[in-house]
Amino acid sequence: MNGWPLRLVLVSIGLAVLAWVLSPIWLALLISVLFYLLLSPLVSMLLARGASRDRAIIMSLLPALLILVYAAVYSINSLRNYLPHLAADLEHLQQSATLALLQFETYLEQMIGLRLRLAENAQVLDLNDILQTDKLLESTGVFANIAINLTLVPPIAYFLLRDFRRWRDNALSLLPNEHFELGWLMYYGVSTRMQAYLRGLLWQALILACITSTGFWIAGFPSPILLGVLTGVAGLVPYLGPFLAMIAPLVMLLSAATFDPGSILQILLVLTVGFGFDNLITVPFLLAGTVNLHPIVAMVAVVVAGNVGGIPAMILVIPVLGMLKIVLQTLLNGLGAPIMQRE
Amino acid sequence: MKLSQPHLWLNPFKRETLDTQVLKAWRATPLLQGIRAGVCEKLVERTHVRQYQPGEYVFREGDSAVAAALIVQGNVVIRSDDNDIARLGAGEFFGEAALLEDTPRSASAVAEGVTLVSLLVRYQLEEFVQHRPQAGLNIMTNLAHLLLARLHRGNNDHTEEKNANDGNAAS
């Protein structure tokens, strides 16, 4: 026994500590990694056509960064304009939700004689108190943190595109002779699958956001791009995505001055078209076979991760489980045979 | 591995550094025949020089193979089923089938004394040739020639062995 499980545990602990230390800039790291995944094929293509490394990186990164800056400025302006109206909208949302629940309860009581008291409970909840909108308006910490994270994206993405392979080579050189080739095999298995999966997820979110934004725009909903983007993000959550995607448009519908029941059908239609395309075309072509997990395992993992870490955990749990599966399979295949031979 | 040229005044007797020794050894292999010096340098920068102690395995028979190896210093014994098949010295290149596909190693390689081996990993070679298609084509052609030559040699050995066995049986 050469103690590899102990080493694996130590490496995992080290990675957990590193993740904790880097947690304040997780947004910057996440966006930079996504940029790396999206842009590295483009950089490779430009390099193959004879561009210098720096020029290839800048040519690939610049348009993406301009889009990011535009999206950030647009979001911050929208938020700054909207936040003063948040308290009034929340109050209206609570009244509308209470009314809708009351109608639902009356219907249930008439049909099957069941009384749930959902409306009473909803009335007791004070959304303004829970979200503390006054403090949210006064607080600049959240916005400052987001701004710092966004400022860090260009340098991190640039250095990832330029130096990641060198850092990787140096890290893998640290492996002992005995496990050098196994380490490369494991790295390659994990990185190719994960890169394919994360690239697939990005394209999935973009396609879903485009389709649903267009749908919401045709249906005449306010802020169709925002609704489309939220649907795209919700669509990243496996299995539960369609349900999560309904939350934003429904909340918008309930907080509107007049409630139009026909709009619910429009929401359902837009989401059906979006997720229909997603399930029939995007997922089979972009994501099939990238992470081979059993549907039951994936579903349970998504629910558990949602309880522990919210939406980001729900999105990331599948690639993390897929990665663990490949690492364990490579370890068992790679270490099993030589240990037998040594004995 | 860093291959940048050291300053002249740091090397007054023109002694060969390990890096230049590795570069020279790789350039002499059939794999890099006809490849421009600058391209070779870039590729060799990506190789990994590793030191093996006497009796230590460079790789084992049946292990997954991802790297080709070049002996920089020392000797390596190629062993299959506890039989020594060959003894390789500095400058010799082996395990090149790993540059093509994930096949298990057909024999073990064991360091005889303290041995320095430079390893070229298939995934790094693939990344390298993505950026340099012409050099990639040349390297892959060289690799094909190398494997073909080994196949012919294997066939010839097999034929000679068979003829010798037939001759023994006839006599």
pLDDT digits (tens, 9 = 90+) for A62-106: 998 888 888 888 777 777 777 677 677 777 777 777 777 777 778
Assess if residue A191 is contained within a domain. yes
For residue A4, what are its two tokens?
């590899």
Query: From CA A166, how far away is CA A157, in angstroms rounded?
Result: 15
Cite the DSSP H helix spans in chain B: 18-27, 37-45, 122-131, 133-170
For residue B120, what pLDDT band results from cuts at 50, 70 and 90? very high
Assess if residue B165 is contained within a domain. no
User: pLDDT value at position B57?
Assistant: 93
Which of A47, A169, A178 comes nearest B131 by C-beta? A47
Measured between CA atoms, the residue of chain A closest to residue B122 is: A184
Which of B62, B66, B132 comes nearest A181 by C-beta? B66
Check CB contact under 8 Å for A169 and B46: yes
For residue A124, what are its two tokens?
């007791």
- A contact residues 46-85, partner B, Cβ 8 Å cutoff: 47-48
Measured between CA atoms, the residue of chain A closest to residue B49 is: A173
Query: From CA A252, how far away is CA A221, in angstroms rounded?
Result: 9
pLDDT tens-digit readout, A239-283: 778 888 888 888 777 766 666 667 788 888 998 898 888 878 777
3-state secondary structure of B94: strand
Assess if residue B114 is contained within a domain. yes
For residue A338, what pLDDT band results from cuts at 50, 70 and 90? very low
3-state secondary structure of B70: strand
Assess if residue B51 is contained within a domain. yes
User: Mean pLDDT lowest for which of B47-51, B64-68, B76-80, B167-171?
Assistant: B167-171
Give the global pTM.
0.71
Contact A306, A234 (CB under 8 A): no
Owning domain of residue A298: 178-343
Owning domain of residue B111: 8-122+132-157
For residue B73, the cross-strand partners are B116
Instruction: Write the CB contacts of A114 (distance below 8 Å, at least 6 apart in sequence).
Output: A108
B42 touching A (Cβ < 8 Å): no
Query: From CA A242, how far away is CA A318, in angstroms rounded?
Result: 17
A165 touching B (Cβ < 8 Å): yes
- CATH number for B25: 2.60.120.10
Total length of chain B = 171
The number of folded domains in chain B is 1
For residue A227, what pLDDT band results from cuts at 50, 70 and 90? confident
Which of B50, B62, B127 comes nearest A177 by C-beta? B50
Check CB contact under 8 Å for B58 and A177: yes
Rounded to the nearest angstrom, the minimum Cα separation between A185 and chain B is 7
**Which of B153, B150, B156, B131 lies closest to B31 in space, CA to CA?**
B150
Most A CBs within 10 Å, among B80, B128, B131, to test the A interface? B131
Assess if residue A293 is contained within a domain. yes
- Predicted ipTM beyond 0.85: no
